[in-house]
């Protein structure tokens, strides 16, 4: 069975790579290369999977999942400028694809600490950047 929990955060970023010229950045990233950045109201879905535990009747303990996502993702991402405020993006362009990989890394690094044992497993992450842009990752 899979259980998905939804979280929201607001953040801003500028898509810009030091590996490219100003012109190349403008061509590659378009309006997202605005020197002043731009923001999004992100929606993050985290899916855990496993069998229903006979004692609790649950697949995942929701407060534990909430605490993990809050401490390892939301605390550092909500109301932040990714380029300057989030360490990983000092070396990475904060595209939604890279944001997803950072979220996966942060969750997987601490998953077994908070969920010891075989179950639950991190089944997927979905990020909505805009009404038209969704990104999905299956670890």
Which residues are marked as active site? 32, 79, 129
Q: How far apart are CA 51 and CA 44, in angstroms?
A: 23
Contact of 83 with 10, CB cutoff 8 Å: no
Residue 125 sits at φ, ψ, to 5 deg, of: -135, 135
DSSP alpha helix (H) spans, 58-133? 62-69, 75-77, 82-85, 96-114
Q: Where are the beta strands (DSSP E) in 1-139?
A: 2-13, 38-49, 80-81, 121-128, 134-137
């Amino acid at each position: 069975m899979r259980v998905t929990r939804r979280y929201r955060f607001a953040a801003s970023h500028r898509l810009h790579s030091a590996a490219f010229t100003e012109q190349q950045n403008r061509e590659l990233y378009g309006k997202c290369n605005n020197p002043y950045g731009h923001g999004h109201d992100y929606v993050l879905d985290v899916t855990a999977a496993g069998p229903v535990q006979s004692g609790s009747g649950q697949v995942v303990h929701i407060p534990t999942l909430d605490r993990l996502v809050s401490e390892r993702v939301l605390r550092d991402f909500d109301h932040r400028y990714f380029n300057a405020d989030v360490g990983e993006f000092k070396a990475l362009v904060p595209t939604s694809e890279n944001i997803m990989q950072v979220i996966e890394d942060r969750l997987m690094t601490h998953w077994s600490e908070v969920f010891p044992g075989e179950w639950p497993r991190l089944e997927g992450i979905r990020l909505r950047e805009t009404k038209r842009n969704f990104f999905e990752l299956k670890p």
